[in-house]
Amino acid sequence: MTPTSRTAYLDHAATTPMVPEAIAAMAEQLAVTGNASSLHSSGRAARRTVEEARELIAERFGARPSEVVFCSGGTEANNLAIKGMYWSRLAQQPARRRIVFSSIEHHALLDPVTWLAQHEGAEVEMTPVDKQGRIVVDDLRAAVERDPSSVSAVTTMWANNEMGTIQPISDVVAIARAHDIPVHSDAVQAAGYVPLDFAASGLDAMTVTAHKLGGPVGVGALVIARELEATPLLHGGGQERDLRSGTVSTALIAAFAAAVDVTIGHQRETVARIEGLRRRLVEGIVAAVPDAIVNGDPEPGSDHRLPNIAHVTFPGCEGDAMLMLFDAQGIECSTGSACAAGVPQPSHVLLAMGYDDVAARGSLRFSLGHTSTEADVDRVLAALPAVHQRARRASLVRSGS
């Protein structure tokens, strides 16, 4: 649902409203017929739209146009990256069965890695993070260097989707490069909030998606070096460098490019404004609930944390209860917890950071974005005391205290 005057939407890390330019670009292309793989005039017009979008996205993310492979979003891109790299390396060097990754990856990466272990003989190694949710570089180095010839790939998200903590990508790349190991990064949460330069990063593959930066759901890209071999997941018409067969959606891709253009074009001023809102939100939460714990790195900036995510633990409260109480007040946020088959589970990210189950279940993520306003922050802070009091009272009743 698009935020309205009756809703304070603070779940931009889940999805953010489309910018008007993306809506316009998508609407224009939806009214036009043409398969970008066809050779007639309509097909060539569609192909031109797709390739112009590819060039723009590549330029904004510091890549070559040929390195942008369109797909359905971040989940598909992550699957293509990690499975494609694993299978390709394994076919050439059967000893390379290890995949090294961090303990705080999004399930769009964690689950494909787990699947490879269960079905394809991969040996997966999860490296720890510190209390701020940042990978421990020395442990990652030790994992790789224990037997580098057995590692097929290393993958580390650019910024964590729950904490907003930014990872030391350059250190990860340096460790892997020394042993000719390809590196992938899920940059879905970082795109639009920190500068992303694929060429300068030294990465071999990077995931981005449209709906986290003002574009539509259903389109994203795997930015993948031309030199890197990866086994495709889909076979068919050979579109997208034969890495992702299927008729491309001209309308979605045009909207993706429009969103990237607008969001990155205004990134500096938007980030400064959002960081100010986040700071006021956090200060207000701590003032209203003195025992609240603000998680992640306290320092803002492109080397520390994203400017738009505030993750807070409320001792003695259930995060789910607070979420629903806020929702009843027209305030939308997230627990940041995984949910399997409708059964809430404590966040694996918080558990990896050393929190116990109780603390992990008692946390909320407030994430701001381009439509966020001072009024949204005011609304949260006005509702918080009553929401917190009711949630804590309900928790005491359930525990029998």
Euclidean distance between the first and the last CA atom of the chain, given in angstroms as a whole number: 39
C-alpha 366/C-alpha 9 separation (Å) is: 9
C-alpha 172/C-alpha 135 separation (Å) is: 9
Selected catalytic residue, list 71, 317, 333, 339 = 339
The answer to whether residue 333 is catalytic is: no
Give the 3-state secondary structure of 68-128. EEEECCHHHHHHHHHHHHHHHHHHHCCCCCEEEEECCCCHHHHHHHHHHHHHCCCEEEEEC
Q: How many CB atoms lie within 10 A of CB 20?
A: 11
- The phi, psi pair for 31, rounded to 5°, reads -85, 0
Residue 38 CA to chain centroid, in angstroms? Answer: 34
Residue 42 CA to chain centroid, in angstroms? Answer: 35
Q: Maximum CA pair distance of the chain? A: 74
Instruction: Reduce the DSSP state of residue 45 to 3 states and report it.
Output: helix
| 351: region left, alpha or beta (phi > 0 left; psi from -120 to 50 alpha) | alpha
With a CB cutoff of 8 Å and minimum separation 6, the contacts of 153 are 82, 85, 86, 89, 99, 100, 181, 182, 183, 184
| Dihedral of the alpha carbons of 10, 12, 17, 19, in degrees to the nearest 10 | 120
Catalytic residue positions?
339
